Structures are given as structure tokens and as C-alpha cells.
Copies of this chain bind each other. A is one copy, B any other.
Amino acid sequence: MARLSHSIAILTKLQVSCIFILLTTVIPNVEARTHNLTWKVTYEYKYLDCFKKLAIAINGQTPGPHINATRGDTIIVTVLNNLLMENVAIHWHGIRQLGNGWNDGTDSVNQCAAMPGEYFTYQFVVDQAGTYMYHSHYGMQKSSGLYGLITVNPLPGEETPSHFEDREIILSDWYHDSAYEHAVKLSSKPYVWIGEPQSLLINGRGRYQCELLGVSNHDQCNGSSTECSPDVVKVKPKQTYRFRIASLTSLSALSFQIEGHKMTVVETDGMHVVPFVIDNLYIYSGETYSVLVTTDQNHSRNYGISINVIARTPETPNGFAILNYEPNPVDAQNLPQPPPGPLWNDTDSQRNQSLAIKGLRDTPYLVALKLNIPDVFDPTPSPEDYDHSYNIYEIPENTNATTSTSIYRLPFNKTVDIILQNAKSMGGDSETHPWHLHGHNFWVLGFGKDKFNPSTASLNLENPIMKNTVPLFPYGWTALRFRTDNPGIWLFHCHIEAHFYLGMLVLFESGSDMVTKPPQQNMGCGKTKNYINP
């Protein structure tokens, strides 16, 4: 259950003392490729978790095709909307779109969605190596399966871990109701909560217990469909692999685990991490990670990969895949036992893992950026002040959620600090929210319990990681910093689809006077029907 108003206070701090150096990313003079892609977006019946449901496919696939590029490449994607009765916009999650805000793919912010029968051509440069993703940013459409992974490889010689072979892992959750029904429920007054997902998916594959439906309708639920057999991740013994893991869940925060294998975290959201070893990875919707996995276990058998819900009472069965040590066969009758996963409500463990993520200093991009950071975090309130007496453990007295169409207008090329403060919601609880920023990375300065106190808060100004998505823990705070170095208007929002849809978002504007005039293909809705092109 989520009631959202007043559960978060956002503080922005405009640091006028910072140095005015425009961020530039240096791409060595290596010949860049252009990837010309044509994507036909359709609804198709899929048995992703054995239950038959309309899923959105790109060229027939759910999840969509993997974009595998190298830093400096140009991606051109022509998205043809064949959804028949639903519009489309696709967001390139984690791609900063420097000076290229018209291609961010956010309906109602950067563009009019493409109507059925129309196409929209996105063009952008992938200027940072790392693991990214794309997904629909129209209505609640992401939860219909319109998403996929983007790998941006470093240029030759740029990165150490890049010589490991990659394995791609897309995590998601899956509802049997349509995105339509969810949108209607959440838009009702009073709103109706959408409940928990029926399944967790690894690379688009889950397993719903058809027996639960009380009918043996093999058309509606088919346990023997090949579409819902577990994903098989093939590895060879005694190798180290780089698992690129992205969470595209609608609701669920997850723990990811491989039976008997430790993982070394080396990257998140495109940034190098001071490596650290974990048994399980906590991953929140909108985040990506690279972890190194060495296949050093008994090679005569296979191993279970599992995901389980954390940070809310689990009502969805764990997701499952198979780590297949080649050349072992995959025996459907004798599958490996998946790890049970950690306790869902061990918030300390979750926060500690987030705190363990430090930026790796040798990243040229990060170092370059660091030059612009003032040394001292100034915790005085932002010009948009907030209620300092706010009690985060009490349900707010004003139970009316408020909405507005206003935006935060920020001076260009300044440093902005944000404190996200989690409080008791109108539903009486306090949940974990993954917050995602478009068009920028931010430094993650810290996570804390209880109410943020500027005098005592412990902040990492030494080696903060840069990310684009970060969790905000129950009754806790998260401190972020970013540079307003990308002209345009950008979303900052909770990446839980329902929370976003209910309005857990703000818009940051900066330098929009530098933005080019709107391309024609971005228009056609609302008042741009009346736009007179000179």
C-alpha cells in the first residue's frame, strides 16, 4: 500500500560558489559506429510466466532486443508503433542525452507519444561505457514488457574488467492485469491499489502455478509452454564472467543470488565501483549492475539463480533461472535448488550494501567531473524551503495529496544537492523507493536512518559513486548531488511504475534557453496541435 503525499521532502541547494567549467566527455579518436535499428512494436500473446497475456514485443521479442554498442557509437532507432490502439514513447534509461533532450523519450515531457501507425526516430550517442536499459515511458506501458538492455562497451584499452565475457540478465515482475487496468485503478478516486505482481521474471521467463486458477484451461495457462521454461545461462567452468544485471520491475525491489557463487560488484549505472564481494545483490527498479562471477564450483552439476522480493512483504514467488555449467545437460526433471534469498525486511543489510558502493577513482570521466565539485557539502536549506518540524513518524494531518504542473527551475551549470526524506505515508507504512534522474548522473553522498540532520549526517565526499537510480529506505534519507550541465527539462521520479503514475515525480529545468526548437516529430499532442511552425 502506498499513499504518497508528504512522504518525501526534496531540498535543493544551489551552490553559487562552484567553478564554471562545462562538462565535456572526451572520446578518443576511434572510428565510431552507427547502429541503424528499426523496431516494430506490437502486442502479442505471450506465456512469459505460463499465463497467456498480451505483452508488448519489439520485432516479436519480449524483452526487446539487446543493444550492444561501444562508447562513442551513435544509435538510431526508428520505433514503429503497431500497437493498434495505444501510443508509444521509449526512454533510454541512463543515457544522459547531453544537449539532446528531444531524444529522452519521455511522453509529456520531451515529446508527444507516437500514435498507432506512426513512427518516431530516436538518435543519440552512447558516451559512457556501462550497463543501461530502455523502456516505455508512456502511461504504465513499461509493465507490459516494453523494455530491454543496452550494453556500452569501453573503447579498446579503456577498462580493466571488460575482457570478461558478458552475460545479460534482465529482471522484471509481471502482472496478469493489463497496464490499462492498473492505470484505471490508480486513477480512481479514491484510488485502488494494484496489488502485488503474479510472477518475477529473469530474462522474460517466470513460472505461475496454473493450478491456482482453479481451472485447467491450457489456453489461458499452459505450464508446458516453452516460453515459461527457466532461462538458461550458459557458462564454462573456471572462467570469470561479467553479469550485466538490470532491474525493470514495476514494483518489486529484489535480491539476486547465484547458488554457491559469490559476486564482485564492479559497476553500477555506468560507473566503476571500488570492487566488493557479496553473496546476494540488492537491486532496485531502474538500477543496473555489473558483477563478476567466477565459475569455480563443482563443474559436474548446474546451479540455481534466484530472485526474491525484498523491502515489502513478499506475496510473489521467487524467480528462477539456471546457471548451466557446460557441457552438463539441463534436466527439467532435476533442476538445481535455488537459493532461498535473504530476509525481505532486513533494511540494515540493504542500506549497508548501498553504503558499500564507492566510486572507483581511476575512472577518467569521474575524475574529470570531480574537479567541479566544491569540497564542502553545504546543508543549509534550499531556496524552496521545507517544513523543518515535519515528523516523519506521524501520518500527515493533511491527507489530501497535492499535484501541480510546476517545475524546479535551476540555474545552468550549477551544483544541486537533493535530500530525499522518507516518512510515514498516509497508508501508515514507509516503503523503499528507487529514484531515477533523467539526463544526468548524480553523486550518491549518503544514506541515513531517521530524519535528516544537516549537523550530524555522514556524507561521503571522498569517493561517492555516480548513479542515475538510487534507493530511498524506509524512514531514512538519501543525499544526492548533481550538476545542471544538460540543457532541458528532466524527470526525477520514483521508478516504481505505480508510484510514478500516481505522481511521485518532479521536473528539473535548466538552461532550456539553449535547447533547439522542437523537432516536428516531437509534436502533435495537446497545445502543439496548434503550434505554428515559422
A183 near B85 with CB under 8 A, answer: yes
Q: Which residues of B contact A183 (CB under 8 A)?
A: 84-85
Interface assignment of A297: CB less than 8 Å from any CB of chain B: no
* Interface-located stretch among A114-122, A365-373, A380-388, A469-477: A114-122
B-facing residues in A511-534 (Cβ within 8 Å): 520-521, 523-526, 528-530, 532-533
A44 near B184 with CB under 8 A, answer: yes
Main DSSP-derived SS at the A contact region: loop
Interface assignment of A95: CB less than 8 Å from any CB of chain B: no
Cα(A532)–Cα(B215), bound, Å: 57
Q: Which residues of B contact A44 (CB under 8 A)?
A: 184
Interface assignment of A319: CB less than 8 Å from any CB of chain B: no
* Beta-carbon nearest neighbor of A108 in chain B: B117
B529 near A520 with CB under 8 A, answer: yes
Q: Which residues of B contact A117 (CB under 8 A)?
A: 108, 525-526
B84 near A187 with CB under 8 A, answer: yes
A87 near B84 with CB under 8 A, answer: no
Interface assignment of A464: CB less than 8 Å from any CB of chain B: no
Cα(A523)–Cα(B118), bound, Å: 13
Interface assignment of A214: CB less than 8 Å from any CB of chain B: yes
A118 near B525 with CB under 8 A, answer: yes
Contact string against B for A residues 82-98, beta-carbon threshold 8 Å, 1 for contact and 0 otherwise: 10111100000000000
Interface assignment of A47: CB less than 8 Å from any CB of chain B: no
Count of A interface residues, CB-CB < 8 Å: 41
Q: Which residues of B contact A521 (CB under 8 A)?
A: 529
Interface assignment of A457: CB less than 8 Å from any CB of chain B: no
Contact string against B for A residues 205-233, beta-carbon threshold 8 Å, 1 for contact and 0 otherwise: 00000000011000000000000000000
* Beta-carbon nearest neighbor of A185 in chain B: B45
* Beta-carbon nearest neighbor of A117 in chain B: B526
Residues A85 and B520 in contact in the complex (CB < 8 Å), given A180-B178, A180-B180: no
A85 near B43 with CB under 8 A, answer: no
Interface assignment of A112: CB less than 8 Å from any CB of chain B: yes
Q: Which residues of B contact A530 (CB under 8 A)?
A: 520
Interface assignment of A318: CB less than 8 Å from any CB of chain B: no
Contact string against B for A residues 111-143, beta-carbon threshold 8 Å, 1 for contact and 0 otherwise: 011011110000000000000000000111100
Interface assignment of A54: CB less than 8 Å from any CB of chain B: yes
A85's partner among B54, B86, B215 (CB-CB below 8 A) is: B86
Known pairs A113-B115, A523-B529 / 17 extra A-B pairs, C-beta < 8 Å: A42-B184, A54-B181, A84-B180, A84-B183, A85-B86, A85-B87, A85-B139, A86-B180, A116-B139, A117-B525, A117-B526, A118-B529, A178-B178, A214-B214, A214-B215, A524-B528, A524-B529
CB<8 Å pairs between A and B, sample of 30: A42-B184, A44-B184, A54-B180, A54-B181, A54-B184, A82-B187, A84-B139, A84-B180, A84-B183, A84-B187, A85-B86, A85-B87, A85-B140, A87-B87, A87-B116, A115-B526, A118-B525, A118-B526, A178-B178, A178-B180, A214-B214, A214-B215, A520-B530, A521-B529, A523-B524, A523-B529, A524-B524, A524-B528, A524-B529, A532-B532
Query: A residues bordering B, Cβ < 8 Å?
Result: 42-45, 54, 82, 84-87, 108, 112-113, 115-118, 138-141, 178-181, 183-184, 187, 214-215, 520-521, 523-526, 528-530, 532-533
